[in-house]
């Protein structure tokens, strides 16, 4: 999926919402457990309910891998059910020596046909480049995360008094272009978002943490929007677990619609 297609979808739907299908089988409505594939039944209902309000779905692969082969099958069925005009993200956080990353790229881009994958850059350029080399696919590199352990490494300063996360973003941005490279920036890091935008004004940012994790849509939008919107705001729990009864999909639709309406107003999408 090209950058132009993503921007076109954003402007058409007046939304930059990414719905996280981080489906935990222990949290889905009880009545679905009688289904042959409860996870897919849950996801299918959510996609039907929210696709009018979002431009992307992010599948956190860990929730599916934890279920073994059945989980992989649920993930593949979910991915195949998502409409082709909606940007798909494999939140897999891969990254290894070059020949291993090449195999990961084949797995997620050729076998499963995701539009993008999240990648950890710690091992350097040769671990990221195999993903960037695949035409019309996106690599989404961890730039600055919101977890407590982020302070263990990401804020450490080098001899030039520059935080590691800034050095990572600056360096990685030279490996690709704004047409095939995005960065993950946690929504609770709005104090640092201005610095990030100065470093990479044109790149898209995937921003998790709005909603249940406490991130502010208004603050992220104020600081992070660029001429092409340049944001994919991921919301998972607030939408997919908005309800736990037979009306769970209706409640998810309402949450997604509220988010879309807020985004339309904040970004001036008319």
Give domain limits for the chain: 3-267
What positions carry a catalytic annotation?
Answer: 93
How far apart are the C-alpha atoms of 25 and 10, rounded to whole Å?
Answer: 31
The domain made up of 3-267 has a fold known as TIM Barrel (3.20.20)
74: closest CA among 95, 47, 49? 47
Contact (CB, 8 A) for 115 and 87: yes
**How high is the pLDDT of residue 190?**
81
pLDDT digits (tens, 9 = 90+) for 11-40: 999 999 999 999 999 999 999 999 999 999
Backbone angles phi, psi at 233, to 5 degrees: -90, 115
Dump pLDDT digits (tens) for 212-258.
Answer: 667 789 999 999 999 999 999 999 999 999 999 999 999 999 999 99
pLDDT at 212: 63
pLDDT at residue 129 above 70?
Answer: yes
| Element at 18 (helix H, strand E) | strand 17-20
Are the C-beta atoms of residues 173 and 126 closer than 8 Å to each other? no
- Give Cβ neighbours of residue 53 (< 8 Å, ≥ 6 apart): 13, 15, 17, 253, 256, 257, 259, 260
Q: Is 210 a residue whose pLDDT tops 90?
A: no
């Amino acid at each position: 999926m090209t950058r132009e297609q993503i921007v076109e979808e954003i402007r058409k739907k007046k939304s930059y919402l990414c719905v996280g299908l981080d489906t935990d089988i222990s949290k889905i409505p009880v009545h679905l457990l009688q289904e042959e594939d409860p996870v897919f039944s849950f996801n299918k209902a959510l996609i039907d309910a929210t696709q009018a309000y979002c431009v992307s779905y992010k599948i956190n692969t860990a929730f599916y891998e934890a279920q073994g082969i059945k989980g992989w099958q649920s993930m593949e069925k979910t991915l195949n059910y998502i409409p082709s005009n909606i940007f798909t993200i494999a939140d897999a956080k891969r990254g290894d020596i070059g020949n291993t990353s090449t195999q990961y790229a084949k797995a997620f881009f050729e076998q499963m046909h995701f539009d993008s994958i999240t990648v950890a850059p710690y091992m350097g350029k040769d671990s990221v480049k195999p993903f960037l080399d695949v035409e019309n696919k996106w690599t989404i590199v961890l730039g600055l995360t919101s977890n407590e352990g982020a302070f263990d490494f990401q804020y450490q300063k080098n001899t030039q008094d520059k935080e590691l996360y800034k050095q990572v973003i600056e360096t990685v941005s030279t490996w690709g272009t704004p047409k095939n490279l995005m960065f993950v920036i946690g929504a609770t890091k709005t104090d640092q978002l201005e610095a990030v935008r100065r470093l990479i004004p044109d790149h898209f940012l995937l921003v998790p943490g709005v909603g249940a994790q406490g991130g502010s849509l208004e603050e992220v939008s104020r600081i992070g929007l660029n001429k092409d919107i340049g944001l994919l705001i991921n919301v998972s729990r607030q939408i997919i677990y908005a309800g736990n009864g037979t009306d769970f999909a209706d409640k998810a639709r309402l949450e997604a619609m509220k988010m879309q309406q807020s985004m339309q107003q904040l970004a001036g999408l008319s």
